[in-house]
């Protein structure tokens, strides 16, 4: 006797057509009521706002540009007409700093907020009722009333441009996606071992040498051998300071703060390839090519030398001129402290400062950099390894190795951003891995992201106040193109947007799927974005009930039909459809003895 051969398939084509009962707004608003009627935007429509407010003028220009792009209609500003889109700053106590009130009637549209940020978010909700690309269709907006504000103040997405360089235009597209879904923080990972991507005028070799590497495109990242002396470094790129200023301004107009990351003490191979005198050995080396590090490489700055701090402070002075963000990210992760153990200057520093060990030396370096940043009106943020040896007094912790670091920091009274590898690393697979583009490993599905709760149960109500929000990270070892990047973030970033914006009690997986497969998937298709339609794997859960072996089947694809066979044959459309747990019985040997 043998077990039944149990094969299953999911029929994606049987998904129900989404029927629109209201706007498919993501993230879902705090309060929304849909009423009878519509407002139609046409050539007679004007945007009305206080001309003395520069920020409102910029928001009005943003809305005008969008309407022009999708319809050719050029909206007037402050004209005398009965068809008005009114942008109004309000002192309404119900409106938080980023909240808004949106009211659409057949006569006009009113967006009220405490400032231009809330008005911009109200516009984003409005735009999710309109076409995503150029169309001849009339621009009808359903009558509705929305009161909305975010749950968390830090709503972030990170992009690593060190391992693979993305053009300024690609970065702007990424920022546009963030703005559409009400993220307010773009964490820009600008430097790392495989490439330095920001122009520093005082140290030109950072980009002349550090921005370029020998690249072995015929090998996967983890198997790329180190560069050899004499090989030409041809792969890379960097952003000029003028380009960075333009991107920062572009983001600011979309209510997005760019937080730059300048890695230290570790992940500094590219910088030390350009200026080896700031390493412990001062020996020449080459920019890292991928996953295999050459023997004896110096990957960390030497904190035993004062000139190292002079070098870093000079860099930060130029960074601070380019980025007005309150926070500056210093990395602080994955430090190989064995380099410091063998360094006379580092050991002398440990003795001079009465530090316990190399952990204490790491803490000394982070605290010294924090003091410098604080003196220039900025705050330090770093990965959770900055807890090692003692946390800098005002540092904010970004918890990536699970939530333990974030929990520890919050209990110490430090601000925290939650970004655990599971489920907030979007370089991990979201489906498959069969049939999926290459990823670094792991599995973070759309549902995993949607069900994430940034406030750990271990924190009480007072401690929970230190959790600023959450962020997803996109490391690009295996993501070399814009189309691949789009695929890895879409639609997972939409799930995260609802996690960090909408009230937790509003979270509804099926409703989110319906909205996602309505306006948003259509918009992705119209814009030519590459995206994942969902994890179509079927989860098989065996159960023992009254001595019977039952198997429960479940898929993340809401509304999909699951079909199965019990004889080892390939499931087809007319195979048995799953509706309840299936009993698995012993059977006689099948005609497929090889199965």
Q: Which residues are catalytic?
A: 192, 267, 334
Q: Which of 39, 164, 59 is nearest to 117 (CA)?
A: 59
Angle between helical axes of 241-252 and 306-322 (0-180°, round to 10): 50
Angle between helical axes of 482-489 and 168-180 (0-180°, round to 10): 20
Three-state DSSP at 351 gives: helix
Three-state DSSP at 337 gives: coil
Q: Which of 162, 152, 148 is nearest to 184 (CA)?
A: 152
Q: Which helix (H) or strand (E) holds 417?
A: strand 416-418
Count of residues in the chain: 595
Gap between the Cα atoms of 426 and 472, Å rounded = 7
- CB 226 within 8 Å of CB 289: yes
**Radius of gyration, CA atoms only, the chain:** 27
Q: Which helix (H) or strand (E) holds 206?
A: helix 205-208
Cis before residue 491, ω within 30 degrees of 0? Answer: yes
- CB 365 within 8 Å of CB 340: no
Helices and strands in the chain: count of H runs, count of E runs: 18, 27
Dihedral, CA of residue 436, residue 442, residue 446 and residue 448, to nearest 10: 160
Q: Which helix (H) or strand (E) holds 10?
A: strand 7-11
The answer for residues whose C-beta is within 8 angstroms of residue 465's C-beta and 6 or more apart is none
Gap between the Cα atoms of 563 and 542, Å rounded = 17
Gap between the Cα atoms of 64 and 79, Å rounded = 14
Q: Are strands 139-148 and 31-41 parallel, antiparallel or unpaired?
A: antiparallel
Residue 491 class from Cβ within 10 Å (0-12 exposed, 13-18 middle, 19+ buried)? buried
Cis before residue 461, ω within 30 degrees of 0? Answer: no
């Amino acid at each position: 006797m043998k077990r039944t051969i149990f094969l299953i398939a999911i029929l994606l084509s049987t998904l129900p057509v989404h029927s629109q009962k209201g706007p498919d707004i993501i993230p879902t608003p705090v309060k929304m009521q849909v009423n009878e009627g519509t407002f139609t935007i046409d050539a007679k429509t004007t945007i009305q706002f206080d001309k003395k407010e520069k920020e409102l003028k910029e928001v009005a220009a943003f809305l005008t540009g969008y309407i022009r792009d999708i319809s050719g209609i050029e909206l007037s500003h402050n004209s005398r007409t009965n068809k008005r889109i009114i942008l109004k700053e309000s002192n309404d106590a119900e409106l938080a700093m980023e909240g808004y009130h949106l009211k659409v009637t057949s006569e006009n549209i009113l967006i009220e907020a405490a400032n231009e940020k809330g008005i911009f978010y109200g516009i984003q909700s409005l735009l999710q009722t309109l076409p995503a690309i150029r169309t001849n269709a009339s621009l009808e907006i359903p009558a509705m009333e929305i009161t909305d504000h975010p749950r968390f103040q830090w709503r972030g997405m990170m992009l690593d441009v060190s391992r693979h360089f993305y053009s300024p235009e690609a970065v702007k597209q990424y920022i546009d996606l963030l703005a559409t879904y009400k993220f307010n923080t773009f964490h820009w990972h600008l430097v790392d071992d495989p490439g330095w991507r920001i122009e520093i005028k005082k140290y030109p070799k950072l980009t002349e040498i550090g921005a370029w590497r020998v690249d072995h495109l015929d090998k996967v990242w983890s198997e790329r051998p180190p560069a050899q002396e004499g090989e030409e470094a041809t792969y890379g790129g960097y952003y000029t300071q003028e380009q960075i200023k333009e991107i920062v301004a572009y983001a600011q107009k979309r209510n997005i703060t760019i937080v730059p990351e300048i890695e230290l003490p570790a992940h500094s191979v590219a910088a030390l390839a350009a200026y080896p005198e700031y390493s412990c050995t001062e020996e020449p080396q080459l920019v890292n090519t991928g996953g295999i590090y050459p023997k004896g490489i110096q990957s960390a700055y030497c904190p035993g030398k004062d000139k190292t701090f002079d070098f870093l402070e000079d860099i930060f002075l130029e960074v601070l001129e380019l980025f007005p963000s309150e926070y500056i990210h210093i990395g602080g992760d994955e430090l190989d402290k064995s380099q410091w153990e063998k360094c006379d200057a580092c050991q002398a520093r440990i003795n001079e400062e009465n530090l316990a060990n190399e952990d204490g030396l790491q803490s000394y370096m982070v605290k010294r950099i924090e003091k410098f940043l604080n003196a220039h009106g900025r705050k330090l943020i770093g990965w959770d390894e900055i807890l090692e040896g003692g946390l800098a007094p005002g540092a904010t912790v970004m918890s990536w190795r699970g939530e333990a670091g974030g929990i520890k920091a919050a209990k110490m009274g430090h601000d925290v951003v939650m970004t655990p590898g599971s489920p907030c690393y979007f370089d991990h697979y979201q489906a498959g891995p069969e049939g999926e583009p290459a990823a670094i490993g792991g599995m973070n599905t759309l549902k995993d992201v949607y069900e994430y709760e940034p406030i750990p149960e271990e924190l009480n109500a007072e401690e929970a106040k230190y959790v600023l929000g959450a962020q997803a990270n996109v490391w690009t070892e295996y993501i070399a193109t814009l189309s691949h990047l789009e695929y890895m973030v879409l639609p997972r970033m939409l799930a995260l947007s609802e996690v960090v914006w909408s009230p937790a009690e509003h979270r509804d997986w099926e409703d989110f799927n319906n909205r996602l497969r309505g306006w948003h998937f259509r918009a992705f298709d119209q814009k030519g974005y590459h995206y994942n339609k969902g994890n179509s794997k079927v989860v098989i859960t065996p159960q023992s009930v009254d001595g019977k072996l039952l198997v429960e089947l479940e898929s993340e694809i809401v509304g999909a039909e699951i079909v199965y066979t019990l004889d080892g044959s390939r499931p087809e459309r007319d195979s048995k459809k799953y509706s309840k747990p299936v009993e698995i019985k012993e059977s006689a040997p099948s005609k497929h003895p090889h199965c």
